[in-house]
Structure 1
């Protein structure tokens, strides 16, 4: 089975690459906007918080690493909990 859906490199994008990289050919643009951002400290990436408390992911390559598709998909359970609505029982 092909797994080409796990990788997309958009070299014609005016922002490519959006992070510093030594290997542009393996830069994954599939998760252009990181779905893990909302997990805050639990995302697993290389981030920092600014003095104003804003999450800064400019040094993070986690979503752009060609081999991290499965890691990100495993985190979707946590992401869906953030988006779910509490229903009074």
Structure 2
């Protein structure tokens, strides 16, 4: 799966891997910045700091091969909600 549309590993990046992992060969850099960061509930392992900032240090969802499916499913769900007017007054 190396360097496919679902998985990309940039081992030359000075920050690789940007999260601690025991399996760097499975570290996906495709979503270097998680597209779900601004979702109130993204489904990941995050915490809110006292400053109100979302800290995703312990989340590896976007950096696993399976993370692609998780992120696309969440995006599709949110796009459908927006299209259908869910949450609007």
Question: TM class, shorter-chain normalised?
Answer: 0.7 to 0.9
Distance 2:71 2:53 in 1: 22
How many positions carry a matched residue from both structures?
78
Q: CA deviation at 1:66?
A: 1.1
Q: CA deviation at 1:79?
A: 6.0
Q: CA deviation at 1:5?
A: 1.2
2:39 pairs with 1:24: no
CA RMSD of aligned residues (A): 1.7
TM-score (norm 2): 0.80
Q: Who is 1:72 aligned against?
A: 71
TM-score (norm 1): 0.80
Q: Who is 2:13 aligned against?
A: 13
Over 3 Å counting, the alpha-carbon distance change for 1:79 and 1:46 in structure 2 is farther
* Structure 1 consecutive aligned stretches of length 4 or more whose deviation exceeds 2 Å: 79-82
